[in-house]
Chains A and B, each alone.
Chain A
Amino acid sequence: MRVPRYWRNIPFRYRLVGWRCNHCGTFHQTKPITCKRCRFRDFTEVELPKTGKLITYTVVRSPPKEFSFTSPYVIGLVELEDGTRILAQITDFQEDELREGMKVEAVFRKIRVNGEQGIIEYGYKFRPAIE
């Protein structure tokens, strides 16, 4: 990972800010030229809701090397309040606490470590929400 690539994506990774197509409503994480679904070229910057529900999840047990410091970890498919579905790491849960359909909320966390000399990358994860 090189710094410019990480820096470029900060709006989505820190605040879940992206771009919604003004014609079909498809969400894009970075500002697109053309909507991937309808090819419309007009977008509105949106901040996604920070809460949603856990559709389903799995546990990554032999991760890529950038994630070995945090292995094993949980990857969830989250449906946000506005219906947008995103993939996220799930964190801060007690053993056996995770349930499909449970409420989750976004938190800011350390995501990746690129070796001893490399940059440490931060971004969003989701955790069980207090109901």
Chain B
Amino acid sequence: MTTDEQTLFDSNEITLSMGPQHPSTHGVLQVKLKLDGERVLDAECVIGYLHRGVEKLGEHQTYGQFLPTLDRMDYIAAVSNCLGYCEAIERLLGIEAPPRAQYVRVLLTELNRISSHLLWLGTHALDIGAMTVFLYCFREREEVLKIFENYCGARLTTHIFRIGGLQYEIYDGFEEQVRTFVKDFPKKIDEYEQLLTENRIWIGRTRGVGVLTKEEAIDLGVTGPCLRASGLEWDIRKSNPYAAYSEFDFEIPVGEYGDTYDRYLCRIEEMRQSNRIVAQAVEKIPDGPIKAKVSKIIKPPVGDIYHSIEAPKGELGYYVVSDQTTLPYRVRVRPPSYVNLQALRQMVTGHMVADVVAVIGTLDIVLGEVDR
């Protein structure tokens, strides 16, 4: 978009550059807005401020070395990033992680989904002005991060799984800690809902804002809760089960109108379902080894693989090409945030400035993943 040299008196339009230093663009996103008063005529996203060349780095690190780098993509949901890549390489190698590892993976990934959604809810509510929800969410997120910290020593960029299974056996008291969390968490969700779900101001700010119909969502390639809120029941955990998801009982919440309020309800319900999965998983973690037999030097046979999982933000896919050396020939990531961000322009056009931050919040983007 070219910005003409105009004074405020020449036209009714002003160009407002929102970001990259702006409190509510969730990182270093820049949105160039064309405004008529407070109404948005056009919006253009400028991305790339956090580009670190993750995909290129993958070509220069061995399969195992690449894992910690991946944590830095979607740093809110590092566990999902790790799971997707580990499973892709396992499929390339033709091995499978033992059942015990599979269960622990599901459990930790779902906990991570909860913590990711909590961060989304907190910041989204904060953008719309509900400050208290933010701190309540961080209170529960802390509990999840404590579990991660006890398990692997890190809280955010966890490097939690290894190709072939797990690095560490679960610690003493792990089940107890998870059970306590699972028991308390639904009550905490009720607390958030009490503050927001039936609040007139909240409904006023989110109903009918940033509507994305089912067809538009499919055309734009939107995935995850944003797609489900538009009415399509599409969840890779159900449609192409990976890890041990086929053995768990859970539902896929679906929205009706595809507006910001529906996406809010969808994610809230997803947290409840994730909690259900964690509750089931912790009760039936099987005994056995935690890691399949993988040679120290990983050299997958010549070939390529595309493997995708349902990350908290949508479909996270890895396309890996191997030329039977220790380094991958090519690693390509399909990041959900990046694809979902495409929808921003048509979601905000015609709305007010205040809705732009609501829509950025509801898309649940992480700039580390958008830019890689």
Q: Do A and B bind each other?
A: no
Contact surface of A with B, Cβ cutoff 8 Å: none
